[in-house]
Amino acid sequence: MHSLSSIQRKLALVLLLSVCAFATPWTFQAVLCVLIVAARFVIPALRPSSDRSSKAFNRFILYSIVVATLVILLNSLLIRDGNVWASFWGFAMYEGGMVFGARTAARLLLLSFSILLFFVSTPIHDLIKFLQERGLHPSLVLVLLLTLHFLEQLPGRIHQIFLAQQARGAPVDAGIFSRTKALMSILSPLVLSSIVESIERGTALELRGFLKKPALRRSPDPMVTGIDWFSAGLLAAATGLLLYAILRWLTA
């Protein structure tokens, strides 16, 4: 069971990593990306909350490596700055473009890894409880809850629609052109069913009093009461790093 203080600390960590994505060199950002992937296996609070979340995070890592490699290669070919680093089949790869691509890829990976690691390691009900405890408006909490539930159920829903269209004889797997033509036949029931389910789920939650603000009677959590010095330290580090980056930009 994830405590509220654990979610607060992870939010502070995401904020610090987001600041690092814009205020630190790209080499340091690349190191942070490696540390985030390692923390997913080492730190219990950052481990995925389910097997499906773990598989999704692992697939995202593989896709990100491929995308980062393509970004670096394309920038090294298109941006002709600096010395020629390598040449293949008449195409020259420049060091300036490669550095620019590495800087862009490291920033995007750090932002995506930190945000994704927070969501895959935090169960939805714990996140909703944390937002309710912090006084967020119930309507906003409801919108976030329905959105996260939709994203969580999206892969399974697409697979069900795909199988249903395939059983009806639709050419959904006969080639790239056939799949492109059958795309609307998959998106239309996906969007309509998601809208209907969101309305029904929202109505059910509203009838159960989700949008009200009941006076919760609970014993104070010893992990939440008082000052969370770890979260405060992360926020102070993020603030200091942001101020340093702004000062360095103004004096450059």
pLDDT of residue 140: 72
Q: pLDDT at position 224, please?
A: 44
Q: What is the DSSP string of 120-158?
A: HTS-HHHHHHHHHHTT--HHHHHHHHHHHHHHHHHHHHH
DSSP character at residue 84: E
Residue pair 116/60 in contact by the 8 Å Cβ criterion: yes
pLDDT at residue number 31: 92
d(CA 167, CA 126): 39
Is the whole-model pTM more than 0.75?
Answer: no
pLDDT value of position 28? 92
Ordered alpha helix ranges (H), 48-137: 51-78, 95-120, 124-133
Q: Residue 82's pLDDT is what?
A: 73
**From the first residue on, what is the mean pLDDT of each consecutive set of 10 residues in the chain (252 residues)?**
71 90 90 89 81 81 88 85 75 84 90 86 78 72 68 68 68 60 66 70 63 50 57 89 87 75
Distance CA 117, CA 49 (A): 10
Q: Can you give the pLDDT at residue 213?
A: 55
Q: How much is the pLDDT for 2? A: 45
